[in-house]
């Protein structure tokens, strides 16, 4: 059966982005969060982005209205019964995701696919919380979702070939390029990216260079569009720390040890752009 209705659980930056591209691709979307104001905030972010497209003449007003008409908000997890697939985009903590997948498994019809947007946690472990491990898969979108083309597709040990094909086809229908990777900590994207960010923070910690200098070196010398320190602020320093801890715990290799300065900033509440202060200050 073709996937027609997508439920996105979590209306934050990632969830609202996933909901947007799903609705833009013609799918019916249920955007869920635990509080109505959080779901409304997610919808407002989508409408704001679409309005910019209209202003830049990348989309007509009618197209914008069509996208928003395919989007409905929810605070009831039971709405999973109306979906063909659920894409989870909640906090990057195993205990939170495990509890959510147990509840989704209890409520969703047996044919519903349960996908996680996790950036580093093991899909096999998440799938083990359900009675349908063959229908659980990782679908890791990149941030910002409306712009970035990549989706990492991560199969758990029990994920079926059919589910993998369905999810890859869905990613293509959403205008993305799916790339299948193995179920290892950090997959490919964050296993490569996060140690680079962590090492960049170490150069600041050890007094080798300022954050501005580190970013300039990587932008001008390596042609990166954004420096690693600036990117860490954009991602969220708490998220960076959590992924580094996942890599460190998963591999037991000291090369993944989080920088003490990263820990200090997170404990101080300096999480980056979202809190107005990280390695840089934001208005």
Taking phi first (over 0 means left), then psi (-120 to 50 degrees means alpha), and beta for anything else, what does residue 130 get? beta
274 annotated to a ligand binding site: yes
Report helix, strand or coil for 146.
coil
252 annotated to a ligand binding site: no
Residue 62 a catalytic site member: no
92 annotated to a ligand binding site: yes
48 annotated to a ligand binding site: no
Residue 120 a catalytic site member: no
Candidate list 27, 32, 79, 140, residue with the active-site label: 140
63 annotated to a ligand binding site: no
Nearest residue to 247 (alpha-carbon basis) of 169, 165, 192, 200: 192
> What is the Cα 57 distance to its own chain's centre?
28
Candidate list 129, 152, 166, 168, residue with the active-site label: 152
CA angle 28, 90, 74 (to 5 degrees): 40
Residue 119 a catalytic site member: yes
* Contact yes or no for 128/105 (Cβ under 8 A): no
Phi first, then psi, for residue 151 (nearest 5°) are -130, 120
24 annotated to a ligand binding site: no
Phi first, then psi, for residue 5 (nearest 5°) are -115, 125
13 annotated to a ligand binding site: yes
Strand (E) or helix (H) holding 137: strand 136-141
11 annotated to a ligand binding site: yes
65 annotated to a ligand binding site: no
Candidate list 117, 120, 190, 198, residue with the active-site label: 190
Give Cα separations from 110 to 54, 81, 121, 165, 264 (angstroms): 40, 10, 24, 18, 45
Residue 32 a catalytic site member: no
14 annotated to a ligand binding site: yes
**Is beta strand 71-74 parallel, antiparallel or unpaired with respect to 85-88?**
unpaired
17 annotated to a ligand binding site: no
Candidate list 25, 116, 119, 198, residue with the active-site label: 119
Just list the catalytic residues: 119, 140, 152, 190
Annotated binding site: 10-15, 33, 92, 97, 119, 143, 274
Annotated binding site for NAD(+): 10-15, 33, 92, 97, 119, 143, 274
């Amino acid at each position: 059966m073709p996937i027609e209705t997508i439920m996105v659980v979590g209306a934050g930056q990632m969830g609202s982005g996933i909901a947007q591209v799903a609705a833009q691709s013609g799918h019916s979307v249920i955007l869920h969060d635990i509080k109505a104001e959080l779901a409304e905030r997610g919808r407002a972010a989508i409408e704001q982005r679409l309005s910019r497209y209209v202003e830049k003449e990348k989309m007509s007003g009618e197209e914008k209205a069509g996208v928003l008409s395919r989007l409905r908000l929810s605070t009831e997890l039971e709405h999973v019964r109306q979906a063909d697939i659920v894409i989870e985009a909640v906090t990057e903590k195993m205990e939170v995701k495990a509890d959510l997948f147990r509840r989704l498994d209890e409520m969703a019809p047996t044919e519903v696919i349960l996908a996680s947007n996790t950036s580093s946690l093991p899909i096999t472990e998440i799938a083990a919380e359900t009675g349908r491990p063959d229908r659980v898969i990782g679908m890791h979108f990149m941030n910002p979702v409306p712009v970035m083309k990549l989706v990492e597709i991560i199969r758990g040990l029990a994920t079926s070939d059919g589910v993998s094909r369905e999810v890859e086809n869905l990613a293509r229908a959403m205008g993305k390029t799916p790339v299948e990777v193995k179920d290892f900590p950090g997959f490919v994207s964050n296993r490569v990216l996060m140690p680079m960010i962590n090492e960049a923070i170490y150069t600041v910690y050890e007094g080798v260079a300022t954050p501005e200098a580190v970013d300039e070196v990587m932008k001008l010398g390596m042609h990166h569009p954004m420096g690693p320190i600036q990117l860490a602020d954009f991602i969220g320093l708490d998220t960076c720390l959590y992924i580094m801890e996942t890599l460190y715990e998963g591999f037991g290799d000291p090369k993944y040890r989080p920088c003490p300065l990263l820990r200090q900033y997170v404990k101080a509440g300096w999480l980056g752009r979202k809190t107005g202060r990280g390695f840089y200050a934001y208005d």
